[in-house]
Amino acid sequence: MKMNITEPMHIHSLDGAMREATIVEMVGENSYIAEYNGVRCTAIYNPFAGAFYVDDKYGILPDQKPKKRSRDMER
């Protein structure tokens, strides 16, 4: 389900500090795709904290990882 929720969210790479991110899609019961700093990654919602948690450290979607330059591939 497509969504567009932009608000402060806990960011994994910032040790849980709050920064503005956008939930772009709900993909499961409590599984979301978020966009933070132009990268799409996984997120969950914690109803007890009333906040989203974005995993931009280990939850980066495969098609969002930086691509290797052709020079790096020659090695």
Give the DSSP letter string of 3-69.
EEEEEEEEEGGGTTEEEEEEEEEEEETTEEEEEETTEEEEEEEETTTTEEEEEEEEEE-GGGSPPPP
Question: Rounded distance, CA 56 to CA 36, Å?
Answer: 8
pLDDT in the model for residue 17? 97
> Could you read off the pLDDT of 5-63 as tens digits, one per residue?
999 999 999 999 999 999 999 999 999 999 999 999 999 999 999 999 999 999 999 87
1 confidence band (pLDDT: 50, 70, 90): confident
Question: Rounded distance, CA 68 to CA 50, Å?
Answer: 38
Name the residue ranges covered by the structural domains of the chain.
Answer: 2-73
- The secondary element (H helix, E strand) that includes residue 2 is strand 2-11
